[in-house]
Structure 1
């Protein structure tokens, strides 16, 4: 395994550890604050259990839970295989972030049956669905993968011009 792949795996492990430590603390802490905590006029800490995926889509019972665990696990294994084959650190960071976030949410689904979300933003023009550290890592990682594919990939259209 090369150093870029190793960096991605270490990053995934750090994200999993931070996400799970935060969730363990926050699930207990928020039990004493059932109506949430207003941090600013647009940001609150809340306790939201999401049995679905983004925006609560595909919420359901036990069958849905295990389907989501299975699909997430298969995608994570595919990304892990990809990660072991990359040599660019930037790409490895993106893959490691997505893997770490995905595993953090898989652990929630196995342990709690749902994903624990805490961050609630009420922007002037919309209320964003609650999310967690794992979700932030996934979004960050996907953004890195998009930037990599658009500007750094050998096959990008930028290099053909």
Structure 2
């Protein structure tokens, strides 16, 4: 009976974090679909002096890393995203009570799966957020990338707090 209860409480502890990841995935996919339907590929829409909406594709990873290769990177980054997602789910199960740590992991999970969906469906990731200053543009990104970045920042912050307490 103890094993059944442990599994049940482990799953219950995991569900909120999977819910957060699911919300990120949905927001990411809805915004990407909207960007594709509203703008032509390569189009840029001025919003402010430091921000545009754009419609671009990234066949590589962050900052278009490996984007100019022959196509193998699609499968590599898909496998990497799926492997990372499986490991994150394992960590969420084991540490479901550590709120900040799990927030970080849930955001990273949602972002990773959001970009994996793009790679599987289209062979590239759809990016549409373009921040710039004085003619210098950061690489375009999307909601999934934002969630991964925020999750990584929370993860670092949580680890620094943990080290400081020790």
Q: TM-score, normalised by structure 2?
A: 0.87
Report the counterpart of residue 126 of structure 2 in structure 1. Answer: 116
Q: Answer yes or no: is 1:78 the counterpart of 2:87.
A: yes
State the Cα distance separating 1:92 from its structure 2 match. Answer: 1.0
8 Å CA contact retained: 1:5, 1:92: no
Give 1:102 shift.
0.3
The answer to whether the 8 Å contact 1:5/1:89 transfers is no
Structure 1 CA distance for aligned equivalents of residues 98 and 15 of structure 2 = 11
Q: Distance in 2 between matches of 1:90 and 1:159?
A: 15
What CA RMSD, in Å, does the superposition of the two structures yield over aligned residues? 1.6
Q: TM-score, normalised by structure 1?
A: 0.90
Say which SS state the counterpart of residue 140 (structure 2) adopts. coil
Distance in 1 (alpha carbons) for counterparts of 2:93 and 2:29: 24
1:143 aligns with 2:122: no
Say whether the 8 Å CA contact 1:7–1:89 is kept in structure 2.
Answer: no
8 Å CA contact 1:42, 1:121 repeated in 2: yes
**Residue aligning to 1:63:** 72
Q: Give me the whole-angstrom Cα distance separating, in 2, the residues matched to 1:62 and 1:122.
A: 29
Give deviations 1:6-41, integer Å, cap 9, x for gaps: 32111001000111111111111112x743100011
User: Gaps (5+ residues) in structure 2?
Assistant: 1-9
Corresponding residue for 1:14? 23
Partner Cα distance (1:145, 1:5) in 2: 18
Aligned partner of 1:5 among 14, 18, 25: 14
The correspondence for 2:113, drawn from 84, 103, 108, is 103
Distance change in 2, residues 1:92/1:5 (3 Å): farther
Gaps of 5+ in 1: none
Q: Is the 8 A contact 1:42 1:122 kept in 2?
A: yes
Distance 1:27 1:135, change over 3 A: same
Q: Which whole-Å deviations, capped at 9, do the CAs of 1:39-73 have from their partners, x for residues lacking one?
A: 01111100110000011011133321111101111
Say whether the 8 Å CA contact 1:12–1:97 is kept in structure 2: yes
